[in-house]
Amino acid sequence: SQTIHQWPATLVQPVGSPLSLECTVEGTSNPNLYWYRQAAGRGLQLLFYSVGIGQISSEVPQNLSASRPQDRQFILSSKKLLLSDSGFYLCAWGMEVKQYFGPGTRLTVT
Amino acid sequence: GQQLNQSPQSMFIQEGEDVSMNCTSSSIFNTWLWYKQDPGEGPVLLIALYKAGELTSNGRLTAQFGITRKDSFLNISASIPSDVGIYFCAGSTGNQFYFGTGTSLTVIP
């Protein structure tokens, strides 16, 4: 069966510091991968999605970036965090027409 | 990106009552999905619907894919305290997924 991992689970970072969130999927090959941000328990905002290694599509212009160095690894990064980057970050993988979410990372920028 | 209209935004019900929520879109989707999210966790897929008019059950949950392909409904029968959470609908066109704004459900014992 497929599983999706995210780490860290929680993160507190000062404004202006870099960010790296990692997501890995097990038990499947060549999945579509997604990064979402969720504010205040609602509203899933799609940030990036990838249909293959090195293929990244950005939905919202911002100071975040994503990379897919391996088939089942998806990384969300920032060079300098803003206060507005605080939120709950969810990674998801999709196959065919269904999508499955990871446990999420709670990011607090102070 | 496109966002689906989900209603109601929140519900407060007594344990044992039935619940209904719906999701509408201005666009046609090939697939409708329903998720439940517990606090601090990722959404969990509850039901997937693949064709117009389809009615699918998962235990006490029943969901329907609207005939127009622009809407979907989720019903929960005989609610219990563990049904508490936020329910999201999502429409899929294949690689792309569009989410509703969520329905927050509170079940009063």
- Tens of pLDDT, residue by residue over B79-93, are 999 999 999 999 998
- Tens of pLDDT, residue by residue over B56-66, are 999 999 999 99
- Tens of pLDDT, residue by residue over A9-29, are 999 999 999 999 999 999 999
| Statement: residue A88 has pLDDT above 70 | yes
A98–B39: do the CB atoms touch at under 8 Å? no
- Tens of pLDDT, residue by residue over B27-55, are 999 999 999 999 899 999 999 999 999 99
- Quick one: pLDDT at residue B1? 57
Averaged confidence pLDDT in chain B: 94
- Token pair for residue B84? 């508490």
A43–B97: do the CB atoms touch at under 8 Å? no
Candidates B3, B95, B104; nearest CB to A51: B95
Residues in Cβ contact with B75 at an 8 Å cutoff, skipping those fewer than 6 apart: B18, B19, B20, B21, B61, B62, B63
Residues in Cβ contact with A83 at an 8 Å cutoff, skipping those fewer than 6 apart: A15, A109
- Quick one: pLDDT at residue A110? 97
Buried b (16+ CB within 10 A) or exposed e, B55-66: ebeeeebbbbbb
